[in-house]
Each structure stands twice: as C-alpha cells, then as structure tokens.
Structure 1
Amino acid sequence: MRLPRVRLTVRQMMAGVAALAVMLGSVLQWRWHQLSREYSATAKHFAEMEAGERYAMAITEANLAEFKKELQGLDPKSQKTLLVKRQIAEEAKYLDFMKANARHSSAVRAIHEQAASRPWLPLAPEPPMP
C-alpha cells in the first residue's frame, strides 16, 4: 500500500517551522524558569549560611575580646594564664575558620544569584571549600 504524496507549499513550510520554533521556545523558557528558581533557592540557602557564619564570627570576636581583657589582669606564669592563652588561640583559629566559610558562602551565593538572573548561561564553577 502506497502512502499518499504530500505536497507542501512554501507558506505551509514556513508555518510549520514557526510552530516548531514556538514549541521549542516554550520548552526552553520553561526549563530556564526552573533553573532560575533552583539557583535562587540555592542562593537563598547560602545567604542564610553566610548570615549564620557572620553571627558566629561576632560572638567569637566578643569572646576573644573578653578573654584578652581577662588575660591582662593575670599573673604571666600562672596556670590560669596558660588556660586563657589556649582559649584565645582556639577562638582565633575558629574565627579564621568562620571567616573562610563566610567568604566561601558569599562567593557561592553570588555565583548562584548571577546564574538565577541568567539561567541560559552555564553555571560558573564554585570555589573550593576552605
């Protein structure tokens, strides 16, 4: 059994190509909208992480100031002085760690905010964890 021959005019082909372009454009628009929402959610998550890290940094800086103030009134050779110096060193190390984490969260947040506004571009690589 032979299939009937289909003859298309230029006008019909142009209409078909236009319909196909509209369908493909709709699919791309839907995908870009989904990506934008995902990137926005990730940016919001990292913004919250950054805020928490900055809050922890403020508390740690206050603790450091308190320990340094306490250290000034102590005898340099006492056991308490050694303990306070150890606490100061640990708090300073933790503060450096939190600063690095805050910088990382800020960088990842910025990457995802930019990607949310331009979802058709490839996502930039995230910086390595500190």
Structure 2
Amino acid sequence: MKLDYAKSYLKLFDEGKLFPIFTDQILTPLLIDDLTPALEKIIEIKQTGIYHVVSSDTTTPFEFVSYLLEKARGVTNVVQKGSMEEFLKVEGRTPRSRLGGLKTEITQEKLGIKFKTWREMVDEFIKRSKV
C-alpha cells in the first residue's frame, strides 16, 4: 500500500532515513477527509467548474514536515533544510513545480465552506490516525 504524504515522512523519520526537506517549494496540502464535504456540496448545487479543495494557506515541505514531527513524535529541530532549486540542478532529475499552491478563496465562497489551514489539517490527521 502506498503511504500518503504525511505517513511517508513519519515512516522515513521512524526508520532514520529522513533526508533534507525543501524550504523553497510552496504547496497546499489536503487532508483527504476534507474532500468529501466539498464534493457533496458541488453535487448538491449541481455546478460545474474547477474547484481548489486544499488547505486555505500555503506551506513549504520543510514547515510541513517540521510541524508534523513536532506534533506526532514530539521532536523539534530534527529536519534538515534542503533546496529544490539545488536538487533540480542535478542532471536527470524530473522537473517539478516549485512555486505552486492553489488559491481557495473563490471555491470557499462558491461552496460556502471554510477550509482548514494546513496546520489544522495536520492536527486533525494526527488525532484521527493516531500515528
């Protein structure tokens, strides 16, 4: 079974295999359980279009993993900083979006749903999965 984003980093930490984490990439994570209410609302209002259903704010992988490990394992200052820009300079590495993240304001307004922040999502993930 493939691990989700958070569980894969917890596993790497638990196995002592955590590598430097990017500080220069922007992303908007999603707690998959938060997708259901949004999909239900889209079906209910019978509206088509593109909807961004992710955290209401952005983060970096470094911030995300640092917070996750602090909350799930009670450790701080264990994540090493890495650079995606430097990582991508190595020949043969697959290009990835570096300055991503989705804006959710329009989706939240259309659906009448307030999305969680990424920290709230991590807190909820830990509470539900007891990792």
Q: TM-score range by the shorter chain?
A: under 0.3
Structure having the larger proportion of residues in helix: 1
Higher-Rg structure is 1
The TM-score, its normalising length taken from structure 2, stands at: 0.24
